[in-house]
Structure 1
Amino acid sequence: MRSFSIFPVTINFDNYVREDAARAYYWPFSSRPNLSVLTNSFLNRIVWKTGATTDSTNLVIASSVEVTFANGTVGVVGATQEVVVSAGALKTPGILELSEIGNPTILSQNGIHALANLPTVGENLQDQITTTIGADGVETVADAVTNNISQYAQRVSAASGNTMKNMDLQTLFNVQYDLIFKQKIPRRLVFKTVATAFIAQAEYRSHKRLPVAEQETLPGYTAVPEGASDDVWKQWLVTHYRSNFHPIGTAAMMPRDIGGVVDVNHTVYGTAKVRLADASALLFQVCGHLVSTLYVEAERVADVIKSQSPLF
């Protein structure tokens, strides 16, 4: 089947197949003698050098990783250069915590001693929801957002048990505000709140934008009556929310003193020879699918490793 689309797609038109990470980054190099792939195996934790820290930098140094192999046995794979964790925004924080990296309060509750104090490991989770809305009056929306940034920050901070500080969140939200409303980056996936529901109500229930629509089926006037309050819309939204399965931010790249987990070289703060290369390091949600952004991130990490390694 052939068709047309205004959106970029990862298609190799010479071979007429959908490209993926394996086709682009593994299969062309799978015969290299210095490359091994262990399938159906699971990383349990990072193992640290005996003595835990160096004398000069006070960093915990990775020496190997503990793995459960496909046959069920558990063993250790040495890391003479470094460990790059790329398990995704949901799994990577768990690996760090099992490796004694994270919030000391949470770790101690589970019998784990924190070697590196990083309270925001596993915090700051962001996702997308599958909702497409069109609306005029962006300036009005901008005013509403800027007037409520402090309130948004307060709510998010409270939801994380104040692990993410109110003032730090306001700083980050103001960065997003400037990108969206002043620099005019794409804003398709910005507003997923009760405000979105009111835009949807104005758009769809007026039928001005959809002249072919005959009857609203979702949410319907029984579930959400005409002129419904914020609380009614909120209740409907939270019970009908569906993840778009694009989680990010759980080990974010930003300064350590405002909640960062990795630095600009993707090195985990407080460690040596450990980097992250996945969506957990992304600080802000992106407007679209994550795949192209993550390919760029992975290639950048590869460039950084090559620039710093004596092997290249």
Structure 2
Amino acid sequence: MIIPAEQLSNQSFDYIIVGKCVACTAGLTLAARLAEEPNVKVLVLEAGQANIDDPQLLRPAIYGVHLGNDSYSWDHKTIKQKHVDGRESSWHRGKGLGGSSSINFLCYTKPRLATSMGFTDFERLGNLGWNWKNLEQYFQRFEGFSEPTEEYKKRTGVKTETWNVGRQGPLKISFPASISEAEVRIQQAFLNNNLPPQGCHFLPNNYDPQNHKRTYATNAFYLPYKDRPNYKVAVGAHVNRVLTENTRNSSWSATGVEFFDEASGKVRTVNATKEVILSAGTLKTPQLLELSGFGRKDVLEKIDVPLKVELPGVGENVQDHIFLGISWELKDDVPFDTLDLLRDPAVAAKHLELHESGSGLHTIGVIGFAWNSFDMFAPQDKQADIYDKMKDAVAKIDDKAHPGLREQFEVAMERFEPGKAGSPGCEFISFPGFMSGPNTPEPGKRYASILVAMNHGFSRGTIHSTSSDPRKDPEIDAHYFEQSFDLNIHIEMLRFARKVANTSPMKEMVVKEVNPGLEIQTDEQWGGMAICFRAKDEGSADEMAVDWLKKTFSTTWHTAGSCSMMPREKNGVVDTNLKVYGTSNLRVVDLSIIPLHFASHSQSTVYAIAEKAADIIKAAA
């Protein structure tokens, strides 16, 4: 099914799907579903390589080793960030078939409380039919959840009886064979801080319980379908632009794509008789639209690309999830292992052998989560202060410069309104090992970390082309902490994470905090971070604290929003059928369509968007 790109020159397919980065997750899913119709010819163009049956992708518990490795990831970088002392941030994305589903941390989560917030907010922003009631079926279509045994449930405390999850889909989802005792203790410490049980629980992984390997888009939506004669994939195919022609009704029709064939070094074209679908991800889809003549007039003028449809929302409204890690050294006599032991080459070799038999550290996953709204742990005065700052931000919005943003902020504010149950966008993840900075782990020591992830940020970034050269990355500006209360929320979460670490049964296993470290100790220091952020007190402990936060926070690689699905007059780029405004047959199917970010890791939603898109496209055929 993988064909040499040179064979595509001037060929025709009904549907051409452009995949790169995270969106080849969506691209393969969509292609497999469209190719269910035997008379439909589907082509997927992937810029990376196939990387099939690669143990570096399939082996769990080697988190982060792919990032920065040119064989597996694209190393995109933001420009220097104004509000974090000029720091650049690396936005790695999966390079190869399956996109970022091939290199993520295997966490499988779905948006919670989506009936009242999250997906239902999509509909409130003008997208009729995009609500949880309608979308839930698309999650269940691809989910292939394996129920854990009763013995496993008893041993770990996992409860799945009330889960509404698909069990017959092609993407295998299960709990890993082992759960670290460190995670069990951290979970109980969260519960002992009066967080509700429905927010604190273990969640499954993209993990095949039969062979104990990663499951991702390639082994779910490519390998089982690879013998279909109407489903073709070409790798090493870097799409330059969408080819279009103007139709009688003044809209533009996509006729194919131009791409660079890496193997031959030649530029080629391939034709589409029905549709072109961009699944190039939040970072690259807006660039492809701009290079094809769709976007902001001023951006296209600067790169000398003729304007076809003026869409000011292309590359705007970019939203990201961010996290910080806090790590603690564990006592030498704790009766369990952590992933830290894999740093020893001899131990790592032993656990590679154990993995073949379904045991060892490579059967441990990241599964411990506490999803909570801000009101569940933040002091009331902090809630009120941050909510007031949000209202101030809304009042300052220039509706002419940023159409639709006021409505987004007003909806997002409801997630933080004091005295009301909010959205569970404050996420705490337990990690059975060391994941923080800047201090490094000591050889032979074991650690536990809590990752503090804030999913409902208000700051909005941009992604725009700076050249007509498609191989040059666009300018990525995250605008991190442009809204100061994004920082305030994160601070309160960090304070709470430290409180959890000082609660039984977690505190009994801890020797000391390694990051941020003992020099930043008191609540007053944490609380002073926001003040220090606005006006540094040279040499103070507060400055040390805020300096640590700025230098060590990271993206969670869930970036969304750059081609938002909203009404066109509100800076929307695609309509509710995912069709680009001003075109008759050009669609976007990836995370860039999300108008307002939700409280979950994003990969499950990418699959669901692709499943829904398949139904939309089939109905229009």
Fold-level similarity (TM above 0.5): yes
What's 1:47 paired with?
Answer: 243
What's 1:219 paired with?
Answer: 516
Deviates more, 1:144-153 or 1:216-225: 216-225
Instruction: Describe the SS at the equivalent of 2:244.
Output: strand
Taking structure 1 as reference, are residues 30 and 117 closer, same or farther at Cα in structure 2, changes over 3 Å only? same
- Does residue 9 (structure 1) correspond to residue 241 (structure 2)? The answer is no
1:146-295 equivalent positions in 2, closer than 5 A: 146-153=387-394, 163-165=401-403, 168-178=404-414, 184-188=422-426, 189-190=455-456, 192-201=486-495, 204=498, 208-209=502-503, 211-212=507-508, 215-220=512-517, 222=519, 226-227=524-525, 228-230=528-530, 231=533, 232=543, 235-295=547-607
Aligned residues: 300
Deviations 1:118-139 (A, max 9, x none): 1121111111112479862476
Aligned equivalents of 1:256 and 1:138: distance in 2?
40
The CA deviation at 1:272 is: 1.5
The CA deviation at 1:263 is: 0.6
Give, as a single letter, the amino acid of the residue that structure 2 aligns with 1:9. Answer: N
Q: Is the Cα contact below 8 Å between 2:425 and 2:598 reproduced in 1?
A: no
Q: Is the Cα contact below 8 Å between 1:223 and 1:236 reproduced in 2?
A: no
What's 1:105 paired with?
Answer: 298
The CA deviation at 1:152 is: 3.4
The CA deviation at 1:285 is: 2.1
User: RMSD in angstroms over aligned alpha carbons?
Assistant: 3.1
Aligned equivalents of 1:270 and 1:8: distance in 2?
41
- Does residue 298 (structure 1) correspond to residue 473 (structure 2)? The answer is no
- Does residue 116 (structure 1) correspond to residue 297 (structure 2)? The answer is no
Aligned equivalents of 1:100 and 1:187: distance in 2?
36
Aligned equivalents of 1:263 and 1:85: distance in 2?
14
Taking structure 1 as reference, are residues 45 and 207 closer, same or farther at Cα in structure 2, changes over 3 Å only? closer
Deviates more, 1:6-15 or 1:289-298: 6-15
Give the gaps of 5 or more residues in structure 1.
none
Instruction: Describe the SS at the equivalent of 2:315.
Output: coil
- Does residue 76 (structure 1) correspond to residue 269 (structure 2)? The answer is yes
The CA deviation at 1:96 is: 0.5
Deviations 1:42-81 (A, max 9, x none): 11100112xx2x233x211111100111321111100100
Taking structure 1 as reference, are residues 224 and 184 closer, same or farther at Cα in structure 2, changes over 3 Å only? closer
- Does residue 93 (structure 1) correspond to residue 286 (structure 2)? The answer is yes
How many percent identity over aligned positions? 29
Q: Which has the higher strand share?
A: 2
Taking structure 1 as reference, are residues 153 and 184 closer, same or farther at Cα in structure 2, changes over 3 Å only? closer
Taking structure 1 as reference, are residues 171 and 235 closer, same or farther at Cα in structure 2, changes over 3 Å only? farther
Give, as a single letter, the amino acid of the residue that structure 2 aligns with 1:105. Answer: D
The CA deviation at 1:277 is: 0.6
Higher relative contact order (CA 8 A, sep 6+): 2
The CA deviation at 1:10 is: 2.2
Instruction: Describe the SS at the equivalent of 1:28.
Output: helix
Aligned equivalents of 2:389 and 2:406: distance in 1?
10
Aligned equivalents of 2:599 and 2:204: distance in 1?
13
Deviations 1:179-216 (A, max 9, x none): 56556442223365133214524662797546455654
Taking structure 1 as reference, are residues 15 and 84 closer, same or farther at Cα in structure 2, changes over 3 Å only? same
Aligned equivalents of 1:223 and 1:91: distance in 2?
40
Give, as a single letter, the amino acid of the residue that structure 2 aligns with 1:120. Answer: G
Taking structure 1 as reference, are residues 138 and 92 closer, same or farther at Cα in structure 2, changes over 3 Å only? farther
The CA deviation at 1:241 is: 2.2
Taking structure 1 as reference, are residues 203 and 76 closer, same or farther at Cα in structure 2, changes over 3 Å only? closer
Q: Is the Cα contact below 8 Å between 2:386 and 2:488 reproduced in 1?
A: no
Aligned equivalents of 1:20 and 1:172: distance in 2?
32
TM-score normalised by structure 2 residue count: 0.44
Instruction: Describe the SS at the equivalent of 1:85.
Output: strand
